[in-house]
Structure 1
Amino acid sequence: MKLKKMLAAVSSIMLLSTVPFVNAAASESDDPFTPSIVYKGNEVVSDENNIMTFSDGYSILTSDRRDFKITMIAADGAEITNETLGIDSTIAIARTTDPDKANYYFIYPSTEESLDELFDIITQRVSEGLLENAYSQMTFDFQCYGVDENGNIITCAVGHFPATQTTYVNYTPEPEFDGKGDANGDGKLNVRDAAFIARALSLGEGDTLPENADYNEDGVVNVRDAAAIARDLAKK
């Protein structure tokens, strides 16, 4: 499979095997029984013999690749047809019904080979300006694995997990978290921060909240900050 910027968004996996794991750098611990997560945005650096390896060194064994899809984001005023895309007239192109994404179009290839071939063409249309961006997706099952002393692959007994890989023509990683709104100090912004602020205020302990709890940056920490955090999280 041709590699461009390949990203994976996969579920948490429990590493449950007695054999040593290959390149399990994504794990928060060297303990093979610790849950390990491959995060969205982790670049795929190799994909051979159904073994997919990510930029952090973590590898998974994939199978049953399916549900192939290409999403195209048209440039303003661009006419998206089989002819303008330069693809066979028999290939169906669907358009979103979401009014907020009126310039989104979709193709559903039947095989991974056709997905790759079409995405090469779509990538060219992005470079020419017909499309603002595009990305391909496929679903597969994956499992962790190990290698025995003879070099044979031993799969984890825990079984298979579904995952979706996304390959972008142009990918902009999310900016590094600056800590704004992280009221509970766990290094993340989530609903717990909104709840932490609301609880402290309800207990009359608003003066104990950190400065970065002022999420809306109006100079005071109050219920509006909790509401702003919840509102922004709901948009993601």
Structure 2
Amino acid sequence: MVSTRHHPKDFPSPSASKEVARASSSTASSRWVHTPSAALTAWLLISVPLVAWDAGYVLLRPHSMPGGKFHSPIWTPYALYGTIDYIYGWPAFNARNGFTAAQTVLNLAENVAYIYYLYVVYVHGVSVGTGGRGGKKAGKGLLWLLREEKVVSGRTGAIALLVAYTASVMTLSKTVLYWLNELFSGFDNIGHNDLTTLVFLWIIPNGLWIVFPSYNIYTLGAEILSSLETTSLGARPGRPKSS
């Protein structure tokens, strides 16, 4: 005779099934709680308007260049920068070099992604409470955005995380391409500068768009990886063995 003593283990009771479902639902919801980094938020609040300003100069050339009707006072600093990096100056413009405008269009695409991320964090972010994993409502403003510890939960937080990560990869890749373009062209656009000018007015300013996106990729990527690892722990153990 075949024993049926162990059937309760194979067919759990309805109450036990409900407990498992509730536990699974709780685990799933906790996986997608995004905690925005203060450094990332601060960087975006600085970089987004700077990139928009830069894009305005590039796309409005020659009117935004020295002598143009829109040059002063908005884009006056580019009178100097155009002599340091010819890709922003008259040599590249007169040569109809399309690289400047092409990378600017990508800059704007990244900016749209970053603005979306900031919007989600500001609108859907909830200040972390003192107890449990819930949050508490708080008055929102610039200081709240920069200093308050907050979370964005659920699918909205997950999408914002992916958007910020993807945009950061785009920013880093494009900036590295910008540097490699100079390297493989024999520093055609910046090679005329002395070392001091090159370091303080080209390497350091442009290097910020390598350092901070790299940091963002590291922190956001670690959060994505942690979520994937948590998901894998909730998967059913083992696979059917092939005969």
Q: So what's the TM-score if we normalise by structure 1?
A: 0.21
Higher-RCO chain (CA-CA 8 Å, sequence separation at least 6): 2
Larger of the two Rg values belongs to structure: 2
